[in-house]
Amino acid sequence: MSEALYLHDAYLRESTGRVEASRPGEVVLDRTVFYPTGGGQPSDVGRLVSDDGRVYPVVAVEKSPEGILHRIEGEAPPVGSVVREELDWPVRYRHMRYHTCLHILSGVVYRRFRAGITGGQIYEDRARMDLSLPEFNATVAGEVVEAMNEVVREGRPIHVRFLSREAAGADPALIRVARELLPDVSQIRVIDIEGFDVQADGGTHVASTAEVGEIRLLKIENKGARNKRLYLTLDPVPPESVPAPP
């Protein structure tokens, strides 16, 4: 199975990996910096570069029984070869900012309403979260977004740690998603926004809430009797201002 480097260091932009499975348009590596689609976060894109300089554009990444599958354009490098993995960093960093934004939203709503998450999705220019929250309106949404921006302005550090499944399951505050959405793994990865919120999650995040930037509400939708859907957006970050890995 592939070693998922992104779980430990979201700022790692490049690495090397050995090809373990190879088919036209598909490659599985022994280790990878590429995040596969999951948990509402789109996959990374980028490229693989072989020792002889051949470039294999990575257009999508997903989990498979063999490991983390990289969908590429054209023929694939042979099994046993070593390739350099290069992320499209502005795309990854945008996903990181939006994912942390959604965690801040979850934290604010959980503190105020003790409400859980029923779904979420990150897009190129916005993100949405579905909340089990029957009583919600534009006024409350505005208050929630202001509370989120206060967390951003505080610049709270964000840490990654791992807990046993038993320890994570003993704390209901850690598991905000529906239990059936929790992966079947022995170790649960936890995202800790220092002094504010801790919850289980497998996505990539920024190192400080300050990196999220100003959060703006786009719209609210009713999705059934209890569920509310919030759409949020962030100002884009020019590629030249994207921070170097810490």
Q: Does residue 127 contact residue 232 with C-beta atoms inside 8 Å?
A: yes
Measured in degrees and rounded to the nearest 5, phi and psi for residue 138 equal -65, -35
The pair of three-digit structure tokens given for residue 59, joined into one six-digit string? 């257009």
The span from the CA of 233 to the CA of 215, in Å, is 6
> What are the residue boundaries of the structural domains of the chain, listed by start?
3-87, 96-241
CATH for 3-87, among 2.40.30.130, 2.60.40.420, 3.40.50.10860, 1.10.10.60? 2.40.30.130
**pTM: predicted TM-score of the whole model, two decimal places:** 0.92
Note the pLDDT tens digit of each residue in 31-83.
999 999 999 999 999 999 999 999 999 999 999 999 999 999 989 999 999 99
The tens digit of pLDDT for each residue in 180-221 reads 445 556 688 999 999 999 988 999 999 999 999 999 999 999
CATH of 96-241, one of 3.30.1280.10, 3.60.21.10, 3.30.980.10, 3.40.50.300: 3.30.980.10
Torsion over CA: 67, 73, 74, 80 (sign): negative
